[in-house]
Structure 1
Amino acid sequence: MAGGEHVNHRERMRQRFLEHGLDNFADHEVLELLLFYAIPRGDVNPLAHRLIDSFGSLANVLEAETEDLCRVEGMGTKTAAFLRMLPPMFRRYQTSKLQGSVFNTTEKVAEYLLRYYIGRPREQLSAVLLDNQCRLIRICDIAEGSTTSVHINIRKLIQCVLQYNAAHVILAHNHPRGRCSPSRADIVQTSTIREMLKNIDVRLVDHIIIAEDQWISLASR
């Protein structure tokens, strides 16, 4: 009987979403709806509450590390992997929608990057790849560092540029716990990469640094 009640509850939740969307769902209910697809049977409502209680918000749950998620009673690595997959999937969705868009001003690129870096707890270096008409081809994540630094993987950057036949590149990275101001290392690395890309007839247009709701362009400096 209890199993039937859980099945009916899941169907009611799904139908509620299909009819009304997520606007009237509390955070724990959104999480519960997601958990249906990672844990196919049983009552996941208590687990959803435990996760929200442990991390404070839906966003914090989705941005938590795997080992931290697995410390919550009822969580396993499979379910943690499912939740961890969602933020990068959202970013891929956003990038896919913008594919072919013209990024011909620093402001347009920066506006998108502000959204792209939401929820990144560590410094992440990315390459915005553009064709010769400044249309977006793809955004490639090149390297992930700590909360205060990231080292550029030059080999991976060159591979991405050649794989997608980019004509122009805009580097970007975030400062999760700091200001937009570039470090000396940022400036030196940018100069080095500009010369390396020039050797394969690719132009480094800019290097944009994101810090929360602010950004700075190294090209403008």
Structure 2
Amino acid sequence: MMFTNIDWALISEATIDTLLMTGFSLVFTIIIGLPLGVILFLTSAHQMLQNRFVYQVLSFVVNVLRSVPFLILLIVMIPFTRILAGTSLGVEGAVPPLVASAAPFFARLVENVLRELDPGVSEACRAMGANSRQTVLLALIPEATTGIVAAIIVTAIALVGYSAMSGVIGGGGLGDLALRFGYQRYQTDVMVVTVTILVVMVQLLQVFGDRLVARLNRR
């Protein structure tokens, strides 16, 4: 392997694209997944807004999106992505399928975090006359902050892996670079560098997440 022959400018550009894909996708995933997870929790059995029909419909949609392999979802969503983002290539084209895959995953994590809370929190809020919105915003979310932050870190790490797969359809980033140069042109050094950068990204996210969660637990 001749690492001196690597186009480091191209590596840098691909790394930035991967960070942009992960960052934008994570923001939209939280915006969509957090409310969805809260609604799943509230409409489930024995909760404040118990509604079997709504819960089963939302749960079905979440399960379907979670069960579709990301590579297949990338291909299936190409027409929709073109309508939504104007292109199915590059960072813009990778964000919609990334969000479609990660938001249901994050929503289920949020639902599970809320289920682990002491039921007495909701009961105390109801006893004081709080409505559903007040209970969620002033009690449940603050109590579940540590778990939600941990879920965000897990989702961010998953998005790093998904973003690498988006290179199969020209999504850009390190995955695209690894496919075009590392695999198709047999440049093993490029493959090694891209994989190493992805591993470092995941490790940094995990270390940052662990420290943030530990700090929140001490409060």
TM-score past 0.5 threshold: no
- TM class by smaller structure: under 0.3
Give the structure with the higher percent strand. Answer: 1
Give the structure with the higher percent helix. Answer: 2
The TM-score with structure 1 as length reference comes to: 0.27
The TM-score with structure 2 as length reference comes to: 0.27
